[in-house]
């Protein structure tokens, strides 16, 4: 079968080369459309459940809200772990499902459990809600908004009602969370003396405030050929609308909210703060949906923020470079691409030193882009992003890729040289020489390549985060060297026919001076090795034993440290520390 593949490639050599060129061109377009990220998606199917419990202490929230929610979702089908975080007035529960679970099915399961537990929560606690789908690598940008001539309230209002809504409309954005500034509120400040004066209770005022912002349906009325909808317009659009809302009546005289309270627009009481360069600002966290292309999404966000900044009142400033995951991705990908480039350059130098022939060097190098493009197509088929792991797999495969090609080229090179030195009557046709030369070394190359592939197979049996991290690397590596094997049996012989046969016939193919020197030096080393073989074997064994002894003392980590060019300083204060004190500590 292998002989048939090689012979078929030589007979249809033009088709093979044209197909290879078409593969390269198609690969360029595929690469441009593939998502790029730092790492593969490491997020297990997770549903985040958030429950607000305003005014409740953390202990109460944990006992009355968090524990019932955890208990309800813990027994759901496919759940492997439940985590929670409880703070003043807020409960967050993370429900992690088994790897491979459809996230939408997981959300449906959790939603059913939440409907069952909602009735057991305190009356003043709203029903739990599920956060948008996101990932642990989901925060792609931190954007700051500030203004020299606008208040913190105005800046936060612009962030909440203008910037946030525009960003959420971008496909791929999962969540936009503003932090800091003054959150806009309509505050009703009740005067206790006036409550007593008008004999009105606080509950009555509270009910009136809630009712002042609702429209009611009154059905419809038919008159002649017309139908009229009846509505009670109660929604408030201004401070005056709230003040004119009726609390109760005394002697046919309505008591209004404005009679017992003052209504004003003010900032909510702060429970957190945000600043940039020690100056108050609003910071917006932007999270992406799993699978979204970080680089493309960042470009869309930048474009939208530029439009928003131009439409905001004079004085507003939006800083999009506070934190950008895209910058780290660009740097990481650039480093890997530079490593690929440097490796290719070294390969070119080594090949030319050994072969001393531009044509043989070109044939060997052709295997690199073809094998990498084939790997890209497979990654695209499995919906795997271009990331540091997949590029790393391709990078470490370059040696084997070139090795498959160079062994074939070198053997063809040698056989053509030998054939050219024969008398004209005994010389074979170039196509037959190339076929025989390729067939000679094919079994050894296949066996060596398959052994390397088998070594990487255990990566596909890893589970959890380790499997998600290393499987793309193994896939990229195996596909690359597998493609190089096919290229060595098809493209390489075809190129040898077009680029080497003429020189082989003319007898110009000779070993390079570097190869001759290397062979001479190797003979001396081999003689020395055979002369002191026992000492060398014992020395090698000793080095192996020393290495095994040192292994337990080496540091261990799942991933190396990554330098994003930023420092994160986290300070834990004594429980009960005020926001002002914490803010002062942060600005020191």
We find that the CATH architecture of domain 44-133 is 2-Layer Sandwich (3.30)
Interval 440-461 mean pLDDT = 86
Tell me the CA end-to-end span of the chain in Å, nearest whole number: 75
User: What pLDDT is attached to residue 57?
Assistant: 84
Residue 460 has pLDDT above 50, yes or no: yes
Angle of helix 491-506 versus helix 430-456 axis, rounded to 10: 140
User: Given strand 46-52, what is the order of strands in its sheet?
Assistant: 79-87, 90-97, 46-52, 129-130
What does the pLDDT look like over 94-123, one tens digit per residue?
999 988 888 889 999 999 999 888 888 888
Within 8 A by CB and 6+ apart from 490, the residues are 5, 6, 9, 16
What does the pLDDT look like over 214-261, one tens digit per residue?
777 777 788 777 888 887 777 778 888 888 888 888 878 888 888 889
**CA-CA distance, 280 to 151, in Å (whole number)?**
10
**CA-CA distance, 263 to 258, in Å (whole number)?**
7
What does the pLDDT look like over 409-419, one tens digit per residue?
888 877 887 77
Identify which of 77-81, 167-171, 361-365 has the greatest average pLDDT.
Answer: 167-171
User: What pLDDT is attached to residue 221?
Assistant: 82
Res. 207 pLDDT band, cuts 50 70 90: confident
Residues paired with residue 324 on neighbouring β-strands, in sequence order: 141
Residues paired with residue 263 on neighbouring β-strands, in sequence order: 188
User: What pLDDT is attached to residue 300?
Assistant: 93
Total Cβ atoms within 10 A of residue 477: 24
Res. 504 pLDDT band, cuts 50 70 90: very low
Written as six digits, the tokens of 339 are 């490593």
Element (H, E) at 258: helix 257-260
Q: For the CA atoms of the chain, what is the radius of gyration?
A: 36
The whole model's pTM is what? 0.73
User: Do the Cβ atoms of 317 and 306 come closer than 8 Å?
Assistant: no
What are the Cα distances from residue 402, in Å, to 135, 351, 357, 485, 548? 38, 9, 16, 10, 32
Hey, CA dihedral for 569, 575, 579, 580, is it positive or negative? negative
Residue 55 has pLDDT above 70, yes or no: yes
**CA-CA distance, 439 to 461, in Å (whole number)?**
35
User: What pLDDT is attached to residue 136?
Assistant: 63
Written as six digits, the tokens of 35 are 């998502």
User: Do the Cβ atoms of 388 and 362 come closer than 8 Å?
Assistant: no
The mean predicted confidence, pLDDT, of the chain is 84
Within 8 A by CB and 6+ apart from 179, the residues are 272, 274, 282, 283, 284, 285
Per-residue b/e over 210-239, b at no fewer than 16 CB within 10 Å?
eebeeeeeeeeeeeeeeeeeeeeeeebeeb
The strand pair at 226-232 and 316-324 is best described as unpaired
Determine the Cα angle at 406 with ends 401 and 412, to 5°. 140
Express as a percent the part of the chain with pLDDT over 90: 17
Interval 25-33 mean pLDDT = 87
Interval 339-351 mean pLDDT = 76
**Phi, psi for 490 (deg, rounded to 5):** -125, -65
**CA-CA distance, 496 to 123, in Å (whole number)?**
81
Tell me the DSSP string of 100-128.
T--HHHHHHHHHHHHHHHGGGS-TTSPPP
Q: Domain segments of the chain: what residues?
A: 2-33+357-510, 44-133, 185-267
Angle of helix 67-74 versus helix 103-117 axis, rounded to 10: 130
User: What pLDDT is attached to residue 507?
Assistant: 47
User: Do the Cβ atoms of 261 and 208 come closer than 8 Å?
Assistant: no
Res. 505 pLDDT band, cuts 50 70 90: very low
Res. 537 pLDDT band, cuts 50 70 90: very high
CATH number of 2-33+357-510: 1.20.1640.10
Q: Residue 481: is it exposed, middle or buried by C-beta count within 10 angstroms (0-12/13-18/19+)?
A: buried
Express as a percent the part of the chain with pLDDT over 70: 96
Interval 498-519 mean pLDDT = 67
Identify which of 60-74, 337-351, 383-397, 460-474 has the greatest average pLDDT.
Answer: 60-74
What are the Cα distances from residue 190, in Å, to 205, 206, 268, 286? 8, 10, 16, 38
Residue 305 has pLDDT above 90, yes or no: yes
User: Do the Cβ atoms of 376 and 31 come closer than 8 Å?
Assistant: yes
Between 494 and 224, the higher pLDDT residue: 494
Total Cβ atoms within 10 A of residue 552: 7
Residue 194 has pLDDT above 60, yes or no: yes
Half-sphere exposure of 150 (CA within 13 A, CB side): 21
User: What pLDDT is attached to residue 49?
Assistant: 92
Count helices and strands in the chain by DSSP H and E runs: 21, 16
User: What pLDDT is attached to residue 511?
Assistant: 65
Query: Of 100, 83, 85, which Cα lies nearest the Cα of 41?
Result: 100
We find that the CATH architecture of domain 185-267 is 2-Layer Sandwich (3.30)
């Amino acid at each position: 079968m292998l002989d048939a593949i090689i012979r078929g490639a030589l007979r249809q050599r033009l088709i093979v080369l044209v197909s290879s060129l078409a593969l390269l061109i198609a690969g360029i377009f595929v690469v441009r459309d593939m998502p790029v990220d730092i790492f593969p998606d490491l997020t297990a199917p997770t549903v985040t459940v958030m429950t607000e419990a305003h005014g409740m202490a953390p202990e109460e929230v944990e006992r009355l809200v968090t524990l019932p929610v955890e208990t309800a979702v813990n027994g759901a089908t496919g759940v492997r772990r439940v985590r929670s975080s409880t703070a003043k007035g807020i409960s967050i529960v993370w429900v992690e499902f088994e790897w491979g679970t459809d996230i939408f099915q997981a959300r449906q399961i959790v939603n059913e459990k939440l409907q069952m537990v909602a009735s057991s929560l305190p009356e003043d606690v709203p029903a739990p809600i599920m956060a948008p789908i996101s990932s642990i690598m989901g925060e792609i940008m931190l954007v700051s908004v500030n203004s020299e001539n606008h208040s913190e309230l105005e800046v936060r209002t612009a962030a909440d009602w203008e910037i946030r809504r525009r960003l959420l409309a971008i496909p791929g954005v999962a969540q936009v969370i503003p932090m800091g500034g003054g959150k806009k509120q309509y505050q009703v400040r009740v005067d206790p003396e006036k409550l007593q004066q008008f004999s009105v209770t606080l509950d009555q005022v509270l009910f009136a405030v809630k009712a002042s912002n609702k429209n009611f349906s009154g059905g419809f009325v038919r008159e002649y050929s017309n139908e009229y909808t009846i509505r009670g317009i109660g929604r408030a659009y201004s401070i005056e609308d709230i003040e004119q809302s009726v609390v109760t009546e005394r002697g046919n005289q309505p008591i209004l909210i404005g009679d017992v309270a003052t209504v004003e627009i003010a900032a909510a009481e702060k429970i957190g703060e945000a600043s940039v360069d020690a100056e108050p600002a609003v910071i917006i966290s932007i999270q992406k949906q799993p699978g979204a292309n970080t680089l493309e999404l960042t470009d869309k966000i930048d474009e939208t923020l530029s439009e928003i900044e131009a439409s905001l009142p004079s004085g507003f400033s939006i800083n999009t470079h506070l934190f950008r995951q895209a910058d780290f991705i660009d740097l990481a990908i650039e480093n890997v691409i530079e490593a690929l480039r440097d490796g290719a350059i070294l390969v070119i130098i080594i090949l030319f030193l050994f072969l001393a022939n531009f044509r043989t060097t070109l044939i060997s190098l052709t295997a690199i882009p073809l094998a990498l493009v084939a790997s890209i197509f497979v990654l695209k088929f499995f919906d795997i992003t271009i990331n540091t792991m997949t590029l790393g797999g391709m990078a470490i495969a370059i040696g084997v890729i070139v090795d498959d090609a160079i062994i074939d080229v070198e053997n063809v090179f040698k056989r053509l040289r030998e054939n050219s030195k024969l008398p004209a009557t005994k010389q074979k046709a170039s196509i037959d020489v190339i076929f025989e030369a390729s067939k000679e070394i094919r079994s050894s190359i296949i066996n060596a390549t398959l052994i390397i592939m088998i070594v990487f197979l255990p990566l596909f049996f890893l589970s959890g985060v380790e499997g998600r991290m290393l499987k793309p690397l193994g896939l990229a590596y195996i596909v690359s060297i597998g493609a190089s094997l096919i290229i060595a049996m098809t493209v390489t012989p075809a190129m040898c026919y077009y680029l080497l046969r003429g020189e082989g016939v003319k007898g110009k193919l000779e070993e390079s001076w570097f190869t001759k020197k290397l062979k001479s030096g190797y003979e001396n080393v081999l003689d020395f090795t055979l002369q002191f073989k026992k000492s060398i074997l014992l020395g090698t064994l000793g080095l192996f034993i020393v290495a095994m002894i040192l292994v337990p003392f080496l540091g261990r980590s799942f991933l190396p440290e990554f330098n994003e060019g930023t420092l994160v300083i986290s300070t834990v204060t004594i429980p009960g520390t005020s926001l002002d004190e914490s803010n002062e500590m942060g600005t020191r």
